[in-house]
Structure 1
Amino acid sequence: MRITIPVAKVLAVLLAEPDAHRYGLDLMRLTGLPSGTLYPVLHRLSGAGWLAADWEAIDPVAAGRPARRYYQLTAVGAAQARRALADLRAAIPDSRPSWGGAEPTGAPAW
């Protein structure tokens, strides 16, 4: 699995609460990713066996909204995600310039 920045963001959010079931809009809000980026990532993670996806069992008419598809890391996915993020952190040298104790405006948040 290639760990891109969007994949790393999704994995980090899912690992923050590994027992939580997250749906697409929730993941978009937490990662800051648009749907056109998020859903291909979720599809790749599901295809790799890292993510389980299940539809919510509701009556959309009674609920007044469409059923949500919930995503959760599998046991294998959680282990692989922890390893992948640790490898990513180890591969990025801590050579960021010093900003006098504060990050400049618009600096990327990790």
Structure 2
Amino acid sequence: MTKVLAAFLADPTAERYGLDLMNDTGLPSGTLYPILLRLQRAEWVTAHWEDIDPEVVGRPARRYYTLTPDGVSAARVELAALYQHLSKAEGATGKPRTA
């Protein structure tokens, strides 16, 4: 989920579609779309189908996803917590701790 949140936060107001997010995150559709569904249910992301005629445009309509204001705040908090956790795991030397 962190890759998806980071991709959205790169431009929090941008509308993103599935293939665009798959390219940015490296996640396959079977991983990405369940994450997007969870984010929608949490009301961090809204979604809508673009209003086009697929025959005129020559491609299927895209479903666009956008972070909500609450989603922007929550995503920033989640990523900050992750970075803080990772920073602590590296310790003062900047190297990962070993057992």
Fold shared by both chains (TM-score > 0.5): yes
Residue identity opposite 1:29 in structure 2: N
Matches within 5 A, 1:45-60: 45-60=39-54
Structure 2: gaps spanning 5 or more residues: none
Residue identity opposite 1:27 in structure 2: L
Structure 1 stretches of 4+ with a deviation exceeding 6 A read none
Matches within 5 A, 1:85-96: 85-92=79-86, 93-95=88-90
Structure 1: gaps spanning 5 or more residues: 1-6, 99-110
Match of 2:74 in 1: 80
| Structure 1 or 2: more helix by fraction | 2
1:25 paired to 2:10: no
| SS of structure 2 residue aligned to 1:72 | strand
TM-score, structure 2 length as denominator? 0.88
Matches within 5 A, 1:35-74: 35-74=29-68
TM-score, structure 1 length as denominator? 0.79
Figure out how many residues of one structure are paired with residues of the other and give that number.
92
